[in-house]
Structure 1
Amino acid sequence: MGGNDRRIHNRTAMSAKVRVTHDELGDFVFSTRDISDGGVFVVVDTEPFVPSIGDRVQVQVQGLPVPAPVLDMVVVRKTIDGFGLQFADA
């Protein structure tokens, strides 16, 4: 890893639908771009989702045959096309 890339976990490209719940902003469904042992990147197109860095959210994968667990995550990065979320206990 070079430059300003401070990631310590390898990323794996993964497209999945996830529900992201923010206590003040509400519920949203986004697609993921990649996932790692440390977190996930969600792609935000035109949704009015504007959390602050450090905000806590709950994330649940959608479309599985059984309900996925709800995971606590923290917003750690914002880019022009989405947000990096870190597992709260990572």
Structure 2
Amino acid sequence: MDSDDRREHSRTAMNAAVKVSHETQGEFVFSTRDVSDGGVFIVVEDAPFTPALGDEVSVQVQGLPVPAPILKMLVVRETNDGFGLQFKESAECQ
């Protein structure tokens, strides 16, 4: 592992549609780039979605035969094309 890589969990590439709800910015549907035991990375591109680090969002996988659970997540990383979200339960356990 690279000494600059602080990831606790291995990532797996995964492209899925997820609905992301933010208290003040509303609802959006984004694609995921990868997922891990700790969270997920969403690709935002040009969408007007600009949460602050530490903001809570609700995330639900779309396109399944039954409604997926809605999970609470925290915005923990920002890049030029998206955001890293951490499962809230994982953040509270640290």
- Decide: shared fold, TM above 0.5: yes
Unaligned runs of 5+ in 2: none
Q: TM-score, normalised by structure 2?
A: 0.94
SS in 2 for 1:58: strand
Question: After TM superposition, what 4+ stretches of structure 1 lie above 2 angstroms from structure 2?
Answer: none
Map 1:52-71; keep pairs closer than 5 Å: 52-71=52-71
Q: Deviations over 1:56-80 (max 9, x none)?
A: 0000000000000000000000000
Root-mean-square deviation (Å): 0.6
SS in 2 for 1:7: coil
Provide the rounded CA distance (Å) in 1 between the counterparts of 2:77 and 2:45: 16
Kindly indicate whether residue 30 of structure 2 is the aligned counterpart of residue 30 of structure 1.
yes
> Is the helix fraction higher in 1 or 2?
2
Unaligned runs of 5+ in 1: none
Give, in angstroms, the shift of residue 48 of structure 1: 0.1
Q: Which amino acid aligns with 1:29?
A: V
Aligned residues: 90
| Residue aligning to 1:73 | 73
Q: Deviations over 1:7-45 (max 9, x none)?
A: 010000000000000000000000000000000000011
Q: TM-score, normalised by structure 1?
A: 0.98
SS in 2 for 1:40: strand
SS in 2 for 1:72: strand
| Residue aligning to 2:4 | 4
SS in 2 for 1:34: strand
